[in-house]
């Protein structure tokens, strides 16, 4: 009959569309995860040097790039120390003059004062006085928790291998995005932060694709269960219950009438 054939073709077309979309979302999921892995790096911070911006146990996502700005929180390695990673804030780039402190106790970069709202509560911008021009190939890096040691105030300008800026912090189920502090933008030391790290794009694609895959999987399972239930009912239905209009008529009896 025509109707069952049309239904069968519709089901086949629906299955084909379902599996094509499912495959595309699998590719998007894998591609997004690969993009995030290649262009980003994940860290867990054990120390308190960047409190309260970054706390012990926070997981960081870092964009793999050496393109950094003043004000960025970066992950870096110090070849003179060893293979470990450090997280500090970039205050001065090569050629910058960094000093502490002005009449109001603020750090200055190229004569422009910083209102460092990210510094740990109760800490002074610096208890150590300095006035340094950052040499080529080095950075002036400070911890946000200024009462902790081991930054440029004690070590001077640092030659480091930059992993990249921190752009995302996972903390106790919450997500915090890091951008250039407004004080650097207001002072003209950095442009407004409109950066979208490729790792963040890849992560977003991967998460969205996973959600769609989950939705498609649930839809497919529900559809399969409904169809299987319908087939079981059809098999269990007695022949007498079949609609006589759709039951083929028996063949005519052979021979002549009355014989």
User: Could you tell me the domains of the chain?
Assistant: 41-193 (2.10.109.10)
Starting from the edge strand earliest in sequence, which strands make up the sheet with 107-109, in order? 112-113, 107-109, 97-100, 130-133
Answer whether residue 163 shows pLDDT above 50: yes
| pTM score above 0.85 | no
Per-residue pLDDT tens digits for 53-85: 999 999 999 999 999 999 999 999 988 777 889
Query: Please, are residues 163 and 77 in contact by the beta-carbon 8 Å criterion?
Result: yes
Per-residue pLDDT tens digits for 8-29: 776 778 778 888 888 898 999 9
d(CA 172, CA 54): 12
d(CA 199, CA 186): 28
Close Cβ partners of 108 (under 8 Å, ≥ 6 residues apart): 98, 99, 100, 101, 102, 114
d(CA 102, CA 71): 19
Per-residue pLDDT tens digits for 187-224: 999 999 999 999 999 999 999 999 998 988 888 888 88
Query: Please, are residues 201 and 6 in contact by the beta-carbon 8 Å criterion?
Result: no
What tokens appear for 28 in the block? 């998007």
Query: Please, are residues 134 and 158 in contact by the beta-carbon 8 Å criterion?
Result: no
């Amino acid at each position: 009959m025509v109707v069952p054939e049309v239904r069968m073709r519709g089901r086949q077309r629906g299955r084909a569309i379902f599996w094509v979309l499912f495959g595309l979302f699998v590719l998007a999921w894998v591609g997004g995860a690969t993009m995030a892995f290649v262009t980003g790096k994940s860290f867990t911070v054990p120390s308190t040097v960047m409190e309260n911006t970054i706390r012990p146990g926070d997981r960081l996502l870092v964009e793999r790039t050496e393109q950094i700005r003043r004000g960025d929180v970066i992950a870096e390695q110090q070849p003179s120390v060893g293979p470990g990673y450090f997280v500090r804030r970039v205050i001065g780039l090569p050629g910058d003059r960094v000093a502490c402190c002005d009449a109001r106790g603020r750090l200055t970069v190229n004569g422009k004062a910083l209102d460092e709202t990210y510094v740990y509560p109760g800490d002074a911008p610096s208890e150590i006085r300095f006035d340094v021009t950052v040499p080529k190939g080095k950075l002036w890096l400070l911890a946000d928790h200024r009462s902790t040691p081991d930054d440029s105030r004690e070590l001077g300008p640092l030659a480091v291998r930059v992993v990249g800026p921190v752009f995302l912090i996972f903390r106790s189920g919450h997500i915090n995005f890091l951008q250039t502090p407004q004080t650097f933008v207001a002072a003209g030391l950095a442009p407004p932060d409109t950066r979208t790290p490729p790792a963040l794009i890849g992560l977003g694609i991967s998460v969205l694709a996973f959600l769609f895959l989950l939705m498609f999987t649930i839809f497919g399972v529900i559809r399969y269960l409904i169809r299987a239930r319908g087939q079981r009912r059809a098999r269990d239905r007695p022949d007498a219950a079949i609609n006589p209009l759709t039951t083929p008529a028996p063949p005519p009896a052979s021979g002549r009438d009355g014989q």
